[in-house]
């Protein structure tokens, strides 16, 4: 007979009292299993709740992560836009700087042109041959050009330049000096009669000019060349009388002594 069957027979053989004694133990075992099941169910519920919470947290994290990525992307786009705007503004600034530089250069050119035109027309204050007077820039230029020809011993061209100057600027402060140097250029070109006339104009128009004594002496020299010693003597006497203390008068006295 199997072992399990023999155990059951023995229990039955013990009668009702033995069965009654065994009942609480079986009941206690049944109640323990229920509590375990409830614990398991509660644990499963907690696990499920934890999983749901984790899932929700993960979903929220993913959503937050996506929002963060969107924010970063928007921020990146804004930065790129700002960089592009900055580059555009720098380009505009550089263009403006170039335009300002060009305007400044043009302004300087215009100012230089104005200054140059003013220099061409603005009167100049001149100190020449002991006199102070005002001349136009082109007037000074023409006088200097004639004097340069004289210094180069180009007497014919110098005489022509002096005559042209007198025609263009008849009231010039340079006039007495021009008459003096015109007479000298004519003398050097052996145009003695013309030389006498030029120096005579200086003596007549400007009797107190510093060049007048020299002009009288030069007139006397031209008259000697023209074989007119009487006229030369009269000129030398006028020189000594009108300008006794001049160097020209000292030279005139020596020549008067030779003429006598």
**64-101 pLDDT, tens digit each:** 777 878 888 888 888 988 888 888 888 888 888 888 88
Domain of 148 in residue numbering reads as 124-259
What pLDDT does residue 25 have?
Answer: 47
Helix (H, G, I), strand (E, B) or coil at 125: strand
Residue 200 lies in a domain: yes
What number of other Cβ atoms are within 10 A of residue 177's Cβ? 21
pLDDT in tens, 192-240: 999 999 999 999 999 999 999 999 999 999 999 999 999 999 999 999 9
Does the structure show a pLDDT above 50 at 27?
Answer: no
Please answer whether residues 252 and 220 qualify as being in contact, where contact means their C-beta atoms are separated by less than 8 angstroms.
Answer: yes
**148 in any annotated domain:** yes
Give the CA radius of gyration of the chain: 66
Mean pLDDT to the nearest integer, 250-257? 95
pLDDT given at position 86: 85
Residue 51 lies in a domain: no
Q: Is residue 117, in this structure, part of any structural domain at all? A: no
Residue 184 lies in a domain: yes
The verdict on residue 180 lying in a domain is: yes
Percentages of the chain per state (helix, strand, coil), in multiples of 5: 85, 5, 15
pLDDT of residue 84: 87
Whole-angstrom Cα distance, residue 32 to residue 22?
Answer: 16
**Which residues, listed in sequence order, are joined to residue 132 by a DSSP beta bridge?**
127
Residue scoring higher pLDDT (12 or 128): 128
Q: Which residues contact 224 (CB under 8 A, 6 or more apart)?
A: 232
Count the alpha carbons within 13 Å of 219 in the hemisphere toward its beta carbon. 28
Please state which of the ranges 34-48, 80-94, 149-163 shows the lowest mean pLDDT: 34-48
pLDDT interval class at 39 (50, 70, 90): confident
The total number of structural domains in the chain stands at 1
Average pLDDT of 26-44? 70
Alpha-carbon torsion (93, 98, 101, 107), positive or negative = negative
Does some domain include residue 63? no
| Percent of the chain scoring above 70 in pLDDT | 85
Band (11; pLDDT cuts 50, 70, 90): very low
> What phi and psi, each to the nearest 5 degrees, are found at residue 132?
-115, 125
pLDDT mean over 145-167? 98
Sequence-ordered alpha helix ranges (H) in 122-174: 137-151, 155-168
Q: Does residue 149 lie within any of the structural domains?
A: yes
- Whether the pLDDT of residue 5 is over 90: the answer is no
Which CATH number belongs to the domain containing residue 246 in this structure?
1.25.40.10
d(CA 111, CA 120): 14
């Amino acid at each position: 007979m199997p072992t399990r069957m023999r155990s059951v027979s023995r229990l039955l053989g013990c009668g009702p009292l033995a069965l009654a004694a065994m009942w609480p133990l079986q009941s206690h075992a049944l109640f323990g299993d229920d509590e375990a099941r409830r614990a398991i169910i509660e644990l499963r519920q907690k696990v499920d709740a934890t999983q749901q919470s984790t899932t929700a947290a993960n979903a929220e994290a993913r959503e937050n992560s996506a929002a963060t990525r969107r924010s970063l992307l928007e921020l990146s786009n804004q930065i790129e836009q700002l960089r592009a705007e900055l580059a555009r503004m720098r380009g505009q600034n550089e263009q403006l700087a170039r335009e300002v530089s060009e305007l400044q250069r043009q302004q300087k050119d215009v100012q230089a042109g104005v200054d140059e035109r003013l220099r061409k027309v603005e009167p100049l204050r001149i100190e020449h041959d002991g006199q102070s007077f005002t001349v136009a820039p082109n007037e000074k230029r023409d006088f200097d050009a004639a004097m340069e020809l004289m210094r180069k011993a180009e007497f014919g061209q110098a005489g022509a330049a002096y005559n042209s100057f007198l025609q263009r600027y008849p009231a010039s402060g340079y006039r007495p000096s021009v008459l003096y140097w015109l007479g000298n250029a004519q003398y050097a070109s052996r145009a003695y009669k013309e030389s006498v006339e030029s120096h005579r104009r200086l003596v007549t128009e400007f009797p107190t000019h510093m060049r007048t004594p020299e002009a009288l002496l030069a007139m006397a020299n031209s008259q000697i060349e023209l074989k007119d010693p009487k006229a030369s003597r009269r000129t030398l006497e006028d020189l000594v009388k009108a300008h006794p203390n001049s160097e020209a008068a000292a030279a005139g006295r020596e020549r008067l002594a030779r003429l006598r």
